[in-house]
Amino acid sequence: MSTQPVLHILRIDARRLINVLAEMQAIMESEAQVPKPVTLSRKELDMIKGARKRFTKRTLRSTDSPQCAICMDTYKTNRRVLRLPCGHLFCFECIGRWLTTQSATCPTCRLALAE
């Protein structure tokens, strides 16, 4: 029995493995070059020129959704909410988490809140 066919198969598999590893390395390098999104600090969040208040029925404008666009919960009376400068309304906890960990933009219209 000849070992030539077995060696040939091993060479092909080794080439495939090298190609796969090269592709994985290229993907990892390209992901490492993706810039980190700009977020806000807690201090910057406190300085947003939005109206932070407790929710009441009067808080909703005719153009507002009755629920937070982040958590999708319906606003309840006395829940802390924040209206961003663009006019969009969110639960204070949700928008705080979004702006400090995800992006310093409105999740609805992408208005930049960081300078």
Domain for residue 112, yes or no?
no
Do 58 and 74 belong to one domain?
A: yes
- What is the separation of C-alpha 54 from the centre of its chain, rounded to a whole number of angstroms? 26
Do 30 and 47 belong to one domain?
A: no
d(CA 43, CA 20): 46
What CATH number is given to the structural domain containing 91?
3.30.40.10
**Residue 7 scores a pLDDT above 60:** no
Do 29 and 53 belong to one domain?
A: no
Instruction: Tell me if residue 12 falls in helix, strand or coil.
Output: helix
Do 17 and 47 belong to one domain?
A: no
pTM, to two decimals: 0.64
Question: Cβ contacts of residue 12 below 8 Å, gap of 6+?
Answer: none
Do 46 and 69 belong to one domain?
A: yes
Q: pLDDT tens digits, residue range 22-80?
A: 888 888 777 767 677 788 888 888 887 666 788 888 888 877 888 999 999 999 888 89
Q: 37 and 113 in contact (C-beta within 8 Å)?
A: no
Sign of the dihedral defined by the CA atoms of residues 85, 49, 44, 72, in that order: negative
Element (H, E) at 83: strand 80-83
Segments forming the whole domain that contains residue 5: 1-34
Domain for residue 70, yes or no?
yes
**What's the structural domain count of the chain?**
2
Do 80 and 57 belong to one domain?
A: yes
Q: pLDDT tens digits, residue range 98-115?
A: 999 999 999 999 999 876
Do 71 and 98 belong to one domain?
A: yes
Task: Tell me the two tokens of residue 107.
Answer: 């999740």
Domain for residue 73, yes or no?
yes
Q: How confident is the model at residue 97 (pLDDT cuts 50, 70, 90)?
A: very high
